[in-house]
Chain A
Amino acid sequence: MSRSFVRNEPVGACGRWGAVLIVVATGACAEDDGFRGEVPEYVGDAVAFGIWSPSSTDTCTSAIHDQYSTIGPDGYRYPTWHPAVDPATGCTFGHEHGRDPAGSELLYEVGPIPFGYANQHLQAGGFGAPRNEDHVGHKVEWENDIQMDGGGGGNVVSIECDVLVKLHQGTHSPDAFTNNMHEVAYHIRCSDGTGFSATVLTPIGAAGELVVECDRDVHIDAGTANPPISPDGGGRRGIPASTCVEESVLNPEDGRARFDNALHESWEISVSLRTEGGHRLVSFDPYFQVRDPSRYFDIATGALARPIDLCYVPGIQGEDRCEALGSDSVGWNDPRSPFKGVRRFVDINGNRIANSNGPTIWYTDALGHHGRPEPFPGGIRQWVAKRDNEGLDLHGPTIGRNRSYDAPGVRAPN
């Protein structure tokens, strides 16, 4: 991969992606009336830009990292996807952002995803407190030409979609134990005309509360959310707890430790874009899942615990996910740890749109509400196709199930 396409030139319809990729592919670099709009002028750096710095075994500098940036629709410079290993220098960043969006058929239309765009505008849109997220938690996933289920088990309709998604899903810290507001960018285009691009800071489940993933009837009050005024949202944050570890690792019925069963995280989001009057323009509810988080919730202490410590328990040492470690002892943030949040997949699930008479460009606040056709302070630019798919139960499959984003140097926090 060439490093040149991820420099920090402004990105618009004919930005760097257009120049490097699109002209070669199509011979044209046309403006479109789609998601990206006109090339914005650079107005400054977003809060999310420049917050990563190397530590421990990371060999890249902040300066190298900050070369991977993009200009958002607001003109601010944001961090964006980059490889785990810088191809120009060979240095390692110690974290990864998921699947390289260069292969997505939506890349030309939507451009590089600005990490932290919704966070940036939360307060300006009227929310009473800031919510900023770390850099390493932004995770990209995509798939082209996925076969959707439009109802009827595929006997009646056959619809294909391209999907490109990004969720801030940190699985290394206690953040998600209490904090339910996380940034999601969701782009979908389907053969039936269904399509939208939504970026929101969405509340996932109840603020301050986590759901024990291995026993979803158990909801734990884990403390006060940050910000404390975080609203409750649909869906849930299913997070492993010590009871899951007890059940599948420490005392499994058959005596065989199964870390994947114990440490499964499932963040099930329920997002909608709504107009000022409350009309639902789009809604979607993907599940973002992780098989190897570097944390779990210890119910006894009410604090974070590290799965790597289980690898040193007699009887578990060298077993299952700990096998590669043998008798070595490594820290939770060591690249050799098998628990670093690199095995992830996404259930695309339902995609509903009701905008047959509306404009394609809408501006909402960071939560996806109060949508209007014209910009306003704190407004997030969204794109919604002129389409109403009410009645079409357009569900997508799981994507990325067999992928691992492990790479040289990658370690928790990731």
Chain B
Amino acid sequence: MRSCRLGLLAACVAVGISVLPWSARAQSPERAPRSSGFWWSVSAAAAGARLTCDICERTRDGGPAVEAAIGGYAGAGVRVGVEGGGWTFKDEDFREKIYTAGVVAEVHPRPGSGFHFIGGLGWSGYRANDIDPDPEDTGFSYDAIRLRVGLGWDFPMNASWTVGNRVTVDASSLGTLHDEGAPIANSVGLSVVRFAVYLRYR
């Protein structure tokens, strides 16, 4: 059931990836790389998340994710900024969430090309609880430093707006998983794989 949900989300994103960028590219030719000014972006993704530890459930849960980022250009084809986002998964009366925040850099290795690398460092916070918990029920929680790597492809729509798609992997480790505030597992890892479409200004 989970894999079906993830598959549906992935299919939606795949449609977005295949339709939006091509229509955008049809409208806009490759352009010269920016080297100054600010930018912001929003994205939607199908994402799969999984905790890793001795007692952790081995299933990767798939759910929707959103992100927003803002920053400036550090050089030709080099964007840096801060980002924040969220992911969620619901299984019957139980919901998992992941919150993220951090700094991000996107580097176009070939000026003028839409292809770029993505890297980042930040925080991931995992929260999971019953949808209607008891008032004293704080559920599961996990907080850790997170590393992000990924690949993206810009499809400029005009001089200011760009759409694109990207794949990113967030990896966290050495966190402690808590349940009701008490530690239940140490050296816990968290990985999130995102297939996203995004819209960026400038």
Contact = CB atoms under 8 A, between A and B. Distances in A.
Centre residue among A156, A192, A388, A393 by max chain B CB count within 10 A: A156
Contacts, number: 67
B39 to A, nearest CB: 37
Contacts of A154: 57
Interface residues of B, number: 27
Contacts of A159: 55
Given A391-B178, A393-B179, A156 B54 contact: no
A153 B92 contact: yes
Interface in B83-139: 89, 91-94, 96, 128-129, 139
A61 interface: no
Contacts of A157: 55-57, 177, 179, 184-185
Interface in A143-179: 150-159
B20 to A, nearest CB: 32
Contact of A158 (B56, B91, B94): B56
Contact of A151 (B58, B59, B179, B183): B179
A158 B58 contact: yes
Interface in B33-67: 51, 54-59, 61
Interface in A117-163: 150-159
Contact of A392 (B51, B54, B94, B184): B184
A191 interface: yes
A160 to B, nearest CB: 9
Nearest to B182: A391
Judged by DSSP, the binding face of B is strand
Contacts of A393: 179-180
Contacts of A261: none
A59 interface: no
B75 interface: no
B61 to A, nearest CB: 7
A253 interface: no
A156 B58 CA distance: 9
A156 B51 contact: yes
B139 A152 contact: yes
Contact of A155 (B61, B179, B182, B185): B61
Contacts of A150: 55, 179, 184
A158 B179 contact: no
Interface of A: 150-159, 191-192, 388-393
30 contacts: A150-B55, A150-B184, A151-B139, A152-B96, A153-B91, A153-B94, A154-B57, A155-B57, A155-B91, A155-B128, A156-B51, A156-B56, A156-B128, A156-B140, A156-B177, A157-B55, A157-B185, A159-B55, A192-B54, A192-B55, A192-B184, A192-B185, A388-B182, A390-B180, A390-B182, A391-B181, A391-B182, A392-B179, A392-B182, A392-B184
Pairs of residues from A and B, 7 with the lowest C-beta to C-beta distance, nearest first = A391-B182, A391-B179, A158-B57, A192-B55, A391-B180, A392-B184, A390-B182
